[in-house]
Each structure stands twice: as C-alpha cells, then as structure tokens.
C-alpha cells in the first residue's frame, strides 16, 4: 500500500512538472535551464520505470485491478517523458543556434 501511495504522489508531481512552460519559451536559453529540463526528463523516465515495475509486481501478486492502475499511470508517465524529452531536444537545438549566432556576432565586431 505504501508503494502504491508513493507512486500516486509521484504521478501528481509529474503532472505539475508538465504544467511549467518549456525553457524555449524564453528569449535566451541558459545552461542552467537545460540542466533543469534534463533533470525533469530523467525524473520522468525514472517515474515511468517505477510504474512499470509496480505494474509487474502487482501482476505477479495477482492484483489485476492494482496492475491496471499502475498501467494507466505508466502510460501517462511515458507520454510525459516523451513530451519532456522532445522539449529538451528542441531546447538543445535552440541553444546551439543561439550560441552560433553569438559567435558570429562576436566575430563581426
């Protein structure tokens, strides 16, 4: 039961992470923003893996209803992970373009 409650709390936390705008919405992307977003991606991936493990454990224990709850949470966590990962990739591309533009500007001056 304790593991079940922990997983539900983690799912709520993951939803809150998605409610925050990606760092690409700002004018300048900093390394700190990229690191924070990468941490969110890692945390969401870890949540997905924990839900997957909890689902398998529930199935092994013969608790089909509990496994269904974990399966649903796992699918939501995976979707959130993929969305955050896509945001991170876009942010990295934008940061690279930003850095190249800065280098060109420095050379011109």
Q: pLDDT per residue over 34-83, tens digit each?
A: 999 999 999 999 999 999 999 999 999 999 999 999 999 999 999 999 99
Span 72-85, pLDDT tens digits: 999 999 999 999 99
DSSP 23: G
SS3 category, 29: coil
62: left (phi over 0), alpha (psi -120 to 50) or beta: left
- Three-state SS for 57-89 is HHHHCCCHHHHHHHHHHHHHHHHHHHHHHHHHH
In a 10 Å sphere around its CB, with 0-12 CB exposed, 13-18 middle and 19+ buried, how is residue 39 labelled? exposed
């Amino acid at each position: 039961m304790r593991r079940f409650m922990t997983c539900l709390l983690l799912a709520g936390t993951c939803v809150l992470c998605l409610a925050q705008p990606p760092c690409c919405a700002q004018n300048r992307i900093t390394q700190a923003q990229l690191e924070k977003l990468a941490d969110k991606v890692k945390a969401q991936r870890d949540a997905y893996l924990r839900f997957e493990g909890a689902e398998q454990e529930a199935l092994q224990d013969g608790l089909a209803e509990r496994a269904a709850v974990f399966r649903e949470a796992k699918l939501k966590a995976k979707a959130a992970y993929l969305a955050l990962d896509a945001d991170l990739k876009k942010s990295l591309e934008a940061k690279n373009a930003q850095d190249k533009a800065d280098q060109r500007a420095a050379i011109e001056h």
